[in-house]
Structure 1
Amino acid sequence: MKNIQFFFASTTIWSLLFALICASHSSTGSNSSSPDIINYNDFSLQFEDYFNQTELNTTIWKVGDNLVRTKDQFQIYTKENVKLKNNSLVISAQYNSTIWKGQKYDYTGGYLDTRGDLGFKFKYGYAEARIKLPQLYTNDSSFPAFWGLPADNSRWHYSVEIDIMEYCNVCSGKDTSTYIYGAYIYGNREQYGDCRIWYRSPMKQLDFTQYHLYGMLWNENEVTFYVDGVANFSYIAKDPSNNSSVGCPIVIPNRDFYLILNFAVIQKFAKPEHYKETKEMYVDYVRVYKSKNQ
C-alpha cells in the first residue's frame, strides 16, 4: 500500500514539475520557453519604486510637461496630471482646455518615463507594475498604458514598441466591453522595407477598478505578457506575423529599453461628459527583475 501511495505521490510531483517546466500558454506558434506562472526565485531585483515618498524620484522618473508626443495626438501631457497620493503614483486625464504655443488642447493627460536625471534602462528580464484603473463609460476615450521604448531610439511609431498593458473599450470593434491587452510592435525598415507589424495579445476582462499586476518577461528569443503573474501570450522570434498579408517574421529587440506610464485620450471618442470627474490610474509599484540565468 505504501508503494502504491509513493507511486501516485511521485507521479503527481513529476506531473506538476512537467507542467511547470513545459509552458502551456498561447503563443504566436512556436513553443514558449517562458513559464506559465512567474517564480520570483528565478530572478534578482534590479529596480523598484513603491511611490511612498513625499515627492517623485526625479533621478529615475521624468514627467512630461506640456508634452505632445506626436503630431497625431490631440491631448497634451502636463505635470499636473502626475501626482503622488496615498502612497501611490496617480496619473490622470481630464477635460481641461489648455493653450500651448498657440495651440488649444481640450484634454490633458499624464506621462512619465524612466529617463530622469540618472534614469533607468534595462535589456531582458521581468518588468511589472501593480495598477488600479478607472471605471469607463461606453465608447470611452480613456487610454491608460504601461509600456516601453528603446533607449537609443524613442521614435514612435516606426520603431519597436512593447505595450505591457493597454486599457480600452473602443479597441475591439463592435465589442464595447472593457479590456486590457498587451501589444508588440516591430518595424525594421532597413530589413523589411515598409513592414510595420502590430501584434495584440488576447484581450482579458477583469474588475479593473481593483489592483492587478501587469508584467512582461523578455529574453533574447521571446516576449511574454503576464496578468497577475500568469502568462497571457508569448511572441516568439522568427514566427510569422499574425497578419498574413504582411508575412514578416517576429524579431525580438536586443537593446536597452526605458519604461513609460501614461494616460492618453483617444480623439475619435473624446466626450467632455466622460470627464465630469478626473479619470485616474493608480500605480502601487513598479519593479524590474533580472533573470538569474542571464
Structure 2
Amino acid sequence: TRGPLAFVATGLLVLLLGQPGSPETLVWQDEFDTLNLNEWSHLVTAWGGGNSEFQYYRNDRRNSYVRDGILYLRPTWTSAEYGDDFLYSGSLSYPDCNMEPCSSTAGQDIVQPLQSARISSSFSFKYGRVEVRAKLPRGDWIWPAIWMLPKNWVYGDWPRSGEIDIMESKGNDNYYDSNGVSQGDDRMGSTLHWGPDANHNNYWRTHWEKSIQDTGTDFADDFHLYGMQWTDNHITFTVDNAEIGTVWAPQDGFWYFGNFENDPGGTNIWQNGNWMAPFDQEFNFILNVAVGGTFFPDNLGNRPWSWDGHPMRDFWERRSEWLPTWHEEDAAMKIDYIRVYQ
C-alpha cells in the first residue's frame, strides 16, 4: 500500500538501514572576501523570472558587490540612472545579456523600474550539508531567495528536474493575512518543486515555513543560518540549526508520492533515478533579489499593482506607498558565507 503510513514507514526503514556516516568534510565555501566572477555568473535579462517580476537583472557593482566580507545583492531604481521620463518612453538593454528577452521598451507598460542581481555558482554538487549565513532585506515588495537548480536537467525542463528553495521571504514589515498572521519579513519558507509539468508542480507537499513573529524580531534584523541536509534518502531544511521540515524518500519515489500515475498519468519520468529523483542529481546555488510579481498574492497587504495591463506602471506610480520602506543597504540581501560539507 501507499499513503502517509507507508511513506513514514519507508523513511524510518531507510533511516534504520542507513550506514554510519564518516566525519564531515568542508568541500566548498565562499566567505565573500571578494566577488569571484569565476565562481559566480550573473544572469542578465529583462525576463521577469517566471513570476512577472519588476526588475531587470544585470551585472553591475551597484547591484552586486562585496564589502568587509559580506556579499550585497541590492535592488536600485532605473530612474536614478536614466530619469523618470525614460521609464515611459525609453528602451533598456545590456550588451552582455545572456537570456531572452534582452530588451525592454516602454509601451502599454513602462520599462522595468528596478535593477537587481541574480547570480549562479559554477560549483555544483549532489548530497551534502549546506550552511548559508544571511541577513534578509527590509523593504516592501522585495523578494529575496537562496535556492538551487539542477546542473544538467536530466529529467527535462522545469519542474521535471526539480528545484530546491533553501530560503524565500518577503521584505514587508507590515504584511498580514486575513487571520492577522504575518506573511512578511518575520517569516521564511523552504520548498522543493517537482512534477511532470508546471500545472502538476506538487511543491505544496514539500513546503515548510518558519515564523519568528512571536519574538518581536524579523529576519531583516540580524544574520541567521539557513541550512539544508541532503542525502540519498531525505532532505531536511533548518533555520539556526533547528529543523523546519523534512521529506523522506517516498516509497517508489516522488512519482507515486505526487499521485502522478493517476493525474496526469503516463510514464514515470523519474523511473531511471533513485527514490529521491529528481533530487538525485547535481544542483548549483542561485542567489537573487527580485521585486514584485506573482509571489505576492492578490488581495493581501494592499498590493500597489494589479495585473490589468500595466502592473509595473501601477507599482512605480504608487511608489510613495512603498519607497519610504526602502532604506539604502537595508534593502539588500547580505550573505556572510556559504559552506558545503560532505
Q: Separation in 2 of the partners of 1:169 and 1:87?
A: 23
* AA matched with 1:235: V
Q: Greater CA deviation, 213-222 or 193-202?
A: 193-202
Percent identity, please: 26
**What TM-score, normalized by structure 2, do the two folds share?**
0.62
How far off its partner does 1:239 sit?
A: 6.4
Structure 2 counterpart of 1:176: 182
Establish whether residue 147 from structure 1 lines up as the match of residue 147 from structure 2: yes
Q: Separation in 2 of the partners of 1:255 and 1:289?
A: 16
Q: Separation in 2 of the partners of 1:211 and 1:238?
A: 34
* AA matched with 2:333: M
How far off its partner does 1:42 sit?
A: 3.5
Q: 1:156 to 1:93 in 2, by over 3 A?
A: farther
Structure 1 counterpart of 2:163: 161
* AA matched with 1:262: N
Number of equivalenced pairs? 244
Matches within 5 A, 1:1-294: 29=8, 42-53=23-34, 56-66=35-45, 68=47, 69-70=49-50, 72-80=52-60, 81-97=63-79, 99-100=92-93, 101-103=103-105, 104-114=111-121, 119-136=122-139, 140-153=140-153, 155-157=157-159, 159-168=161-170, 173-174=177-178, 175-178=181-184, 179-189=187-197, 195-198=200-203, 199-205=206-212, 207-208=218-219, 209-238=221-250, 247-248=259-260, 251-252=276-277, 253-267=279-293, 269=303, 271=315, 272-273=319-320, 274-276=322-324, 277-278=327-328, 279-290=331-342
* AA matched with 1:186: W
Unaligned runs of 5+ in 2: 1-6, 16-20, 80-86, 94-102, 106-110, 262-274, 297-302, 305-314
Confirm or deny: 8 A CA contact 2:46 2:55 kept in the other structure. no
How far off its partner does 1:157 sit?
A: 4.8
* AA matched with 1:85: R
Q: 1:194 to 1:133 in 2, by over 3 A?
A: closer
How far off its partner does 1:275 sit?
A: 3.5
Confirm or deny: 8 A CA contact 1:186 1:251 kept in the other structure. no
* Structure with greater strand share of residues: 1
Secondary structure, counterpart of 1:275 in structure 2: helix
Confirm or deny: 8 A CA contact 1:76 1:108 kept in the other structure. yes
* AA matched with 1:75: Q
Q: Aligned-pair RMSD on alpha carbons? A: 3.4
Q: Separation in 1 of the partners of 2:68 and 2:158?
A: 33
**What TM-score, normalized by structure 1, do the two folds share?**
0.71
